[in-house]
Amino acid sequence: MKISLALLVLLGTLPTFAQEMTCLEKILTYSRYSGLHYLSRDEWSESADPLTVQSARAALNSLLGGKLLCDTNEYEVKGAPVCTTLMPDIPQSNVCYIYTNLGYFVVSKDNGKNVNFIFSRDNRFGTPSR
């Protein structure tokens, strides 16, 4: 009974702890300078293939606002995403670069329709407090 109660209390405090972290801390879970994240096809409903400017922006909002629970006032996309196809005959090679106030994301889709994010912190925004 005591273990169940302790577990229940711990589970109840996890969302509070996640909300106390800044968006940058949520993005940079293992490194101070870069982070890897993805949205599985179950977490992502966009069907655009290849990745477009609109779907890349929507994917970033799904990652930051949905999965990582960042407040919308913590991040801002600076300009339109820039997308390019690296290999003309492979639709999954379309990659988008998204610059934000926190740093920049390189976004791609894999063959399973998962969306992959590589984040690099921009040195102009200081060192994260960790």
φ, ψ dihedrals at 50, nearest 5°: -80, 175
> Which tens digit of pLDDT belongs to each residue from 59-84?
999 999 999 999 989 999 988 999 99
Structure-derived torsion over alpha carbons of residues 125, 53, 109, 113, reported in degrees to the nearest 10 = 130
Note down the domain range covering 105.
22-125
Give a yes or no: residue 67 inside a domain.
yes
Give a yes or no: residue 76 inside a domain.
yes
Give a yes or no: residue 5 inside a domain.
no
Q: In sequence order, what DSSP letters do the residues of 86-107 get, joined into one string?
A: SSTT-GGGEEEEEEBSSEEEEE
Give a yes or no: residue 7 inside a domain.
no
Give a yes or no: residue 10 inside a domain.
no
Give a yes or no: residue 16 inside a domain.
no
Give a yes or no: residue 11 inside a domain.
no
> Which tens digit of pLDDT belongs to each residue from 6-58?
555 555 555 544 458 899 999 998 888 888 999 988 887 766 677 889 989 99
Total number of domains in the chain = 1
- Residues 109 and 92: their CA atoms lie apart, in Å, by 6
